[in-house]
Amino acid sequence: MRRQPSLISRRLAAAAVGLVVVAGAAACAGPKDNSSKDGDGAGGKPQKGGTLSVLNTTPLTDFDPARQYTSGGGNIPTLVFRTLTTRGPGSGPAGNKVVPDLATDTGRPNADATEWTYTLKDGLKFEDGTPITSADVKYGIERSFAAELSGGAPYLRDWLVGGADYQGPYKDPKGLASIVTPDPKTIVFKLSKPEGDFPLLATQTQFTPVPKGKDTGAKYETHPISSGPYKVVKNEGDGEHMVLTRNTNWSQKTDPRRQQYPDTIDVKSGLDPSVINQRLSTSTGADASAVTTDTNLGPAELAQVSGDSALSKRVGTGHFGYTNYLAFNTKVKPFDNVKVRQAISYAINRTSVINAAGGSALAEPATTFLPDQEAYGYAPYDLFPAGKSGNPAKAKELLKQAGYPNGLTVTLTHSTLEDRENSPTIATAVQEGLKQSGITVKLDGLENNAYKDKTRTAAKAPGFFLAHWGGDWPSGGPFLAPIFDGRQIVKDGAGNFNHAQLDDPAVNKEIDDINKLTDPAAAAKRWGALDKKLGGEALDVPLFHPVYKRLVGKNVKNVVISDWTGVLDVSRVAVK
């Protein structure tokens, strides 16, 4: 059965710009607190009390677990929605590990990973004190299939037996037979194919328990029933202003990953990024106890901050699994010729591209498609060494072999939106770099929606364009499969991300074989090897992995930003 890349694409398309322009850093911010394993932006042991302010650009719309991702809303959902598994609590790479949340472990697979069993912990309660049962988890998942609650992660529709045809409990109250709850603490998932990444998928908010009797359909987002340390007491302007207070029926005995430090968390959205960073920089009044979960420092702001030692101590730095690259459509000439693709790979001037992306503080050169993080299976390689500024001699040699001894003229499609990703600035840097190798690049700038429609529609996709990808969880599967699995080519509609339109049976089989593995380390090694194999075909040119910089208020303590999402973990922040 083919996956659902068209649905996946809708989520990524909406988030793509935000991930690069305003995504979080992926490391701890500030100096270490000797009494805490986490970062500490203000010094001293974190204590309970006070109000944490969250200043964001993007409103928390559709605040319903069926319509969110675990990373959705900049980690705010993790304060309210607990899931079967969750991300590790540490900074950096430590946060890439999956750990139990509502469940006692990360899941028990059968022999071929087509069935996963979970047991709920003792003492789990909703905000109203009623026990959380396996039936609540099952119902929470099933309602995510309803058309009225679209927008969440699409994987279960493809992975669960019968998922492709299920319309949700409002139309089919019998539910999915592939989710079995033999008793109030046990839940079993029956899959249509092996999926070793199921524990990672179980971190997504679809796995949040929802009490059937409290489900109000599309209105549930105004007051979702909390299973986490905080509950929603105000949700105004479709997520523009949200106030959370402590859930007194939450117990840290069942939830060691999260903390419950602030009394209140006040989230205000719809703010201009420059205003957010200015308020965090000044840190007066309530802003001294403020963070942002979706706004990054830009080049100009970073230059100002770097000259101030006090501000620099309040900046987190790190990485989220994300790659910006040049995409080839191998169905379009001359990009059907591997020698041409290799020539461009050698010709690229990554230094000029990185400068266009904001400089080395905000972008790191990439020669692999997988991000340079262990969890993804990163294996370092550089099959077409271009150095810092390109290798014109090698590029010209390959162009001659390809039948272009006098050089080549190509068109590069990009967005007219200046987002440091698919922008005219990046495109111009590519153009200038390739010129040294005899490759003339004509730029085709399209309005952003037109750019996305054209590049993601297989039948009309250009041969050469700027692209990017970020995985839904830290594994090679959601990173490589949507881009290189031939069964994920979307022939109808603007949802295709297999830009090379590669359909290699050997690659497809290797993806299936890796998906059977339930040992993350073994799977990661295989993903890294597959990345290198694909790299040899020059199906894309990796350009850079973004680096993120983020400010916090001067009174904020326990700042943790993991590599999983690159978003500050508000469930561990203190303000006193």
The mean pLDDT value for 34-60 works out to 76
Rounded to whole angstroms, how far apart are CA atoms 57 and 64?
19
**Does pLDDT of 35 surpass 50?**
no
Phi, psi of 543 (to 5 degrees): -105, -60
pLDDT band at 26 (very low <50, low <70, confident <90, very high): very low
The two tokens of residue 480 are: 């490589």
The mean pLDDT value for 487-507 works out to 94
CATH number of 322-546: 3.10.105.10
| pLDDT tens digits, one per residue of 284-330 | 999 999 999 989 898 889 988 888 999 999 998 778 899 999 999 99
Cβ atoms of 141 and 159 closer than 8 Å: no
Strand order in the sheet with 290-291: 230-236, 241-246, 264-268, 51-55, 290-291
| pLDDT tens digits, one per residue of 13-24 | 333 333 333 333
**Does pLDDT of 452 surpass 70?**
yes
HSE (side-chain half, CA atoms, 13 Å) at 421? 24
Higher pLDDT, 4 or 121: 121
Rounded to whole angstroms, how far apart are CA atoms 468 and 74?
20
Question: What is residue 75's predicted lDDT score, i.e. its pLDDT?
Answer: 87
Question: What is residue 71's predicted lDDT score, i.e. its pLDDT?
Answer: 62
pLDDT band at 209 (very low <50, low <70, confident <90, very high): very high
Distances from the Cα of 191 to the Cα of 101, 151, 168, 327, angstroms: 21, 22, 17, 33
Mean pLDDT, the chain, whole residue set: 90
The two tokens of residue 379 are: 């294996």
Strand order in the sheet with 186-190: 108-109, 115-119, 186-190, 179-183
Q: Which among 67, 82, 78, 77 is positioned nearest to 7, based on CA atoms?
A: 67
**Does pLDDT of 568 surpass 50?**
yes
Phi, psi of 410 (to 5 degrees): -135, 165
Cβ atoms of 261 and 45 closer than 8 Å: no
**Does pLDDT of 3 surpass 60?**
no
Hey, what CATH topology would domain 5-268+550-572 get?
A: D-Maltodextrin-Binding Protein; domain 2 (3.40.190)
pLDDT band at 73 (very low <50, low <70, confident <90, very high): low
Cβ atoms of 468 and 427 closer than 8 Å: no
**Does pLDDT of 30 surpass 70?**
no
The mean pLDDT value for 242-263 works out to 97
pLDDT band at 493 (very low <50, low <70, confident <90, very high): confident
Ordered DSSP codes for 422-470 = SSHHHHHHHHHHHHTTTEEEEEEEE-HHHHHHHHT-GGG--SEEEEEEE
- Beta bridge pairs of residue 117: 108, 188
**Does pLDDT of 37 surpass 80?**
no
The mean pLDDT value for 139-161 works out to 94
The mean pLDDT value for 79-107 works out to 94
What's the count of helices (H) and strands (E) in the chain, helices before strands? 16, 19
Q: Which among 558, 551, 457, 564 is positioned nearest to 54, based on CA atoms?
A: 551
Distances from the Cα of 50 to the Cα of 46, 152, 261, 365, angstroms: 11, 33, 8, 42
Rounded to whole angstroms, how far apart are CA atoms 31 and 492?
51
The domain segmentation of the chain, as residue ranges, is 5-268+550-572, 322-546
Question: What is residue 16's predicted lDDT score, i.e. its pLDDT?
Answer: 35
Q: What percent of the chain has pLDDT over 70?
A: 92
**Does pLDDT of 484 surpass 80?**
yes
Rounded to whole angstroms, how far apart are CA atoms 264 and 244?
6
The mean pLDDT value for 100-112 works out to 97
Burial 124-163 (b: 16+ CB within 10 A, else e): bbbbeeeebbbbbbbbbbbbbbbeebebbbbbbbbbbbeb
pLDDT band at 163 (very low <50, low <70, confident <90, very high): very high
The mean pLDDT value for 425-444 works out to 97
